Amino acid sequence: MTTKQNIKRYSRKELEELMQSIGEPRFRAAQLHRWLYSDRASDFHEMTTISKSLRETLDRKYFLPQCSMSSTQCVEDSSADSTTRKFLVQLHDQEAVETVLIPAEGRNTVCVSTQVGCPLHCSFCATGYMGFTRNLNAAEIAEQVFSAERMMGVYCSKFSGQPVRSRRMKQ
């Protein structure tokens, strides 16, 4: 039996190469990318601008993961009008990371994790004591934002801090 691959591991360019490798035009990758990241499709069969046969092919070979936010802890923040919410996010290999939603007037900020654990061992930080397990892939980072949206009915995006550091580490 062939193991299904995570479709969200592919970058936009890799999706183009994937479509070409199965005899589809390159613009299919743009359609697929839109369904994945703009329309937040949770099933290939929702992708109605893509032919039924291609949807079936994709469904046979790939899966569409969503992170599961397994618990919410509300943290009182006296400096803000609203309450900061901390989520424990269960990943597909049973590892878990935290995502934090920080509401403010007129906007919401989602603080995402980019790694399981951390290699820096700052003495005041519990995460540092866990050690470093692995980097998250792009899909797992994006899914934290999408999951926060689904749970809270918000839309937010701006990446800074740890994600930027992780990106530098890869360069």
CB of 66 within 8 A of CB of 148? no
Pick between residue 65 and residue 163 the one whose CB is nearest to ligand SF4.
163
Task: Determine the number of helices (DSSP H) and then strands (DSSP E) in the chain.
Answer: 6, 8
Among 7, 32, 89, 118, binds ligand SF4 (CB under 6 A): 118
Q: Of 95, 156, 79, give the one whose Cα is nearest residue 130.
A: 95
DSSP assignments along 36-47, one per residue: HHTS--SSGGG-
Q: Of 116, 93, 100, give the one whose Cα is nearest residue 151.
A: 100
CB of 85 within 8 A of CB of 100? yes
Pick between residue 1 and residue 126 the one whose CB is nearest to ligand SF4.
126
Quick note: the x/- pattern for ligand SF4 over 132-171, rule CB under 6 A, is ----------------------------------------
Minimum Å gap between C-beta 102 and ligand SF4 is 17
Among 22, 74, 75, 125, binds ligand SF4 (CB under 6 A): 125
Site size toward ligand SF4, by CB under 6 A: 7
Residue 122 in contact with ligand SF4, rule: CB under 6 A: yes
Choices 51-59, 69-77, 93-101, 119-127 (CB under 6 A): range interacting with ligand SF4: 119-127
Quick note: the x/- pattern for ligand SF4 over 27-66, rule CB under 6 A, is ----------------------------------------
Q: Tell me, what amino acid is at 52?
A: K
Angle between helix 27-37 and helix 12-21 axes, rounded to 10 deg: 130
Q: Of 162, 121, 125, give the one whose Cα is nearest residue 141.
A: 162
**Residues near ligand SF4, by CB under 6 A:** 118, 120-122, 125, 127-128
